[in-house]
């Protein structure tokens, strides 16, 4: 099988920029229905992405390499051998800083407490909870990556 037939184009896009855009062998990402693996010539689909880990297996110069990213909520569309991952935020695991994530998590928790006391509406409360969920997911991805690197 040629390299072209064994890959698909992955485009990872945030509101600010295109984070990633190259041929890959595999993408593993969490959706609201569970984890999915996208392979070349995958059946068309659209699914909601939940905050967490996205694993990408690249194939360049005859070698496979796994790249791990932390992604926020979003949507994935797979069609015509192209996977578009539209997320609010995506970061390479190597770029994650535990102290900054923990500070953002504490800030999100404080905002939720203030919103509870102020009687925030459901929509505002859901937005705040989504922010906390993103930070928790980023911490989990970082911790998992660090464990794998140590072992």
Q: Report yes or no on 1 lying in a domain.
A: no
Domain that holds residue 115: 96-150
pLDDT band (50, 70, 90) for residue 3: low
60, 130: one domain: no
Phi–psi pair at 35, nearest 5 degrees:
-75, 140
Q: Report yes or no on 25 lying in a domain.
A: yes
Q: Give the pLDDT score at 147.
A: 73
Q: What is the pTM of this model?
A: 0.81
55, 78: one domain: yes
Give Cα 45 distance to the centre of its chain. 17
CATH number of the domain where residue 67 is located: 2.60.15.10
Average pLDDT, the chain: 88
Name the token pair of 127: 């937005």
51, 73: one domain: yes
55, 69: one domain: yes
106, 136: one domain: yes
Q: Report yes or no on 3 lying in a domain.
A: no
118, 134: one domain: yes
What's the rounded mean pLDDT across residues 140-147?
A: 83
16, 64: one domain: yes
Strand 82-87 and strand 8-13: the pairing is: parallel
Domain end marker among 58, 73, 93? 93
22, 65: one domain: yes
Domain count across the chain: 2
- Helix (H), strand (E), coil (C) string for the chain: CCCCCCCEEEEEECCCCEEEEEEEEEEEEEECCEEEEECCCCCCEEEEEEEEEEEEEEEECCEEEEEEEEECCEEEEEECCEEEEEECCEEEHHHCCHHHHHHHHHHHHHHHHHHHHHCCCHHHHHHHHHHHHHHHHHHHHHHHHHHHHHC
Q: Give the pLDDT score at 149.
A: 59
Q: Is the pLDDT assigned to residue 132 strictly greater than 90?
A: no
78-99 pLDDT, tens digit per residue, is 999 999 999 999 998 888 888 8
Q: Is the pLDDT assigned to residue 1 strictly greater than 80?
A: no
More confident residue, 144 or 73: 73
Domain end marker among 93, 118, 139? 93
């Amino acid at each position: 099988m040629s390299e072209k037939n064994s890959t698909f184009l992955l485009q990872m896009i945030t509101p600010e920029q295109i984070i990633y855009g190259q041929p890959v062998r595999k993408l593993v990402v969490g959706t609201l229905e569970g984890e999915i693996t996208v392979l070349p010539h995958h059946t068309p689909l659209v699914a909601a992405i939940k905050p967490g880990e996205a694993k990408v297996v690249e194939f360049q110069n005859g070698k496979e390499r796994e790249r791990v990213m932390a992604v926020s909520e979003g949507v994935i569309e797979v069609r015509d051998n192209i996977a578009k991952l539209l997320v609010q935020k995506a970061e390479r695991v190597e770029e994650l800083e535990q102290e900054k994530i923990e500070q953002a998590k504490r800030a999100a928790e404080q905002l939720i407490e203030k919103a509870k006391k102020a009687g925030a509406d459901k929509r505002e409360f859901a937005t705040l909870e989504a922010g906390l969920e993103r930070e928790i997911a980023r911490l989990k991805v970082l911790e998992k990556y660090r464990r794998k690197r140590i072992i």
